[in-house]
Amino acid sequence: MQKQVFNPFLPLWEYIPDGEPHLFGGRVYLYGSHDREGGWTFCMDDYTVWSAPEDDLSDWRCEGVIYRAEQDPMYPEMKYMYAPDVVQGNDGRYYLYYCMSGDYGVGGYCCPISVAVSDTPAGSYTYLGHVQNPDGTPLMRYVCFDPAVMNDNGVIRLYYGTQYGYEEEQPGDPQVIETEMEMFGRTREEILSYPDSINGPVMAVLEDDMLTVKEQPRHIIPYKVKGTSFEEHPFFEASSMRKVGEKYYFVYSSWQNHELCYAVSDHPDRDFTFGGTIVSNGDIGVNGRTKKDRLNMTGTTHGSILSVRGQWYVFYHRLTHKSDYSRQACAEKIEIAADGSIRQAEITSCGLNDGPLRAEGSYPAVICCNLTNGNMPHGCNSIYREEFPNVTHGPAGTSGEEAGAADGKKDQDVERFIGEIEEGSLIGYKYFRFEGVKEIGITARIETPENHVVYSGPVRVDERSAEPVGGVAGTNATDADPGAAADYAIGTDSTIGTSSAIGADSADGDFGAETEVVMDVMTEIDGPVIGRIRIRQGADPMHWETFYTETEIPDGVYAVFFRYHGDKKLQMKDILFR
């Protein structure tokens, strides 16, 4: 590895969630959905693929847009392309499988599985058709959602599905049937025709034409989970299949909706046993951590595993912008033990790096792997308006050479930073290798009405969202304007002056007077304070300034945690070592 790489491992302006990594011709290709920075619904942009040589996972290259939503015949009725997967067919060509959807996922359970084809893994891809029955009609058996494909020694296997617990929890309830009719776009007769359930993950076998069903879909794990190994972590969505030796590993997102789980079988279509959680985007489960103590805003997750030169990785995504709609690709090293088990990975900032990051120079503050005020929400098809610490962006300020330098390769006039940092907030980075470090610093500014990031666009908080911040659920779907344009602006929020965290100073307009708050530095959550950064700011609310604290950290590998204390909110752009 010739340079360092951190999470998120793509450029900070890029948002590729639902990642399916594949190794083709000596390169790792990341196929996924394409969110928009600060977007207001899932998957607003066309498919863009990134790749890296297998011997240097720090060197990611954008292959460009490989397929556009407008190429699908369902466009513009269905405008967005959801989580895809790619497989190499027996003819040597590459096949892209995906489903279309509308705003906020409406209609996403009602569409067939579309297929596009290319001569190369990097595209561009051309629309081929829908997965179809032998008579040429579109395959609509079960719920066509989140397709995944594998070439199993010449057998093309297609996995897909979603699962809700209505039928098991309320057997025979007519309201359940009504709910499923609306959700899945099916008739009562069709839903009742399934001997098991329309819900659940299924597998079908395709002909070599990559379109026609050769073996009809069937459940690969039981739909009814009570009394099975899946009871605590039932399948929800995000099917992905990998073969490890002679074993089949089924990777999926569970009902917990923050974790990627896995199940193992000797067969590709049956007898799977729950294995465990591979990763949680809130580190829930690591060292016994509970949902209440999640270390990030949690929400939708989707990804898979890949072996690169003998090292296994799990690819997943994190949430930003207080929503489910701006998700960024991350990865962690994992190990498949001799008994086939996978220990849950801790989310880190170093991810694909050969080891810990070097504690030298500066890093963007937004590569934090933990960000919490102790009461972070769990999102679900939502954008929150309540204030809590979050990764965000806005127009560049007036900080001289630093202005617009958050990425350096795109959007030169955009800064990316952590906003709404409030009293008690914890910001964590794991891990750094320290050698002779004497000082740790941050680049920060006090949050004011002038520099506060304001989202202006459709706002939707789904009724399934758990534990809303401050007890305010925001607006519902009927309040959203699907035609409105979302934007993130600086200094246009007329309500921020009423926030108790900014309170009197912002309301009274006396930011011309200097103020001081502090950031404690630790190497463990709630560990001893090894340094205290005192933050002062004068009259210019747009100016970023760097502040340091002396510290004595023995050489070695450590996490770095910042704990904020102050009666005013803070924004943070960089962390520094010297």
Check the CA dihedral 243-245-247-252 and report its sign.
Answer: negative
Please tell me the number of Cα atoms within 13 Å of 252 on its side-chain side.
32
User: Which one is catalytic: 72, 167, 237, 574?
Assistant: 237
C-alpha 224/C-alpha 228 separation (Å) is: 8
Enter the tokens of residue 346: 């801790």
Structural contact between residues 383 and 41, judged by C-beta atoms closer than 8 angstroms:
no
Query: How far apart, in whole angstroms, are the C-alpha atoms of residue 241 and residue 408?
Result: 37
Residues in the chain: 578
* Active site annotation includes 189: no
- The CB density around residue 112, as the number of other CB atoms within 10 Å, is 17
Q: Which of 14, 18, 146, 180 is catalytic?
A: 18
On whether the CB atoms of residues 407 and 490 are closer than 8 A, the answer is: no
**C-beta of residue 442 within 8 angstroms of C-beta of residue 532:** no
Backbone angles phi, psi at 472, to 5 degrees: -110, 125
Question: Is 237 one of the catalytic residues?
Answer: yes
For residue 578 the two structure tokens come to 């010297």
Q: b vs e for 121-140, b when ≥16 Cβ sit within 10 Å of the residue's Cβ?
A: bbbbbeebbbbbeeeeeebb
Place of tokens 């397709």: 147
Looking from the CA of 317 toward its CB, the CA atoms found within 13 Å total 33
Cα diameter, the chain: 76
Q: What pairing do the DSSP bridges indicate for beta strands 426-434 and 357-358?
A: parallel
Residues with a catalytic annotation lie at 18, 237
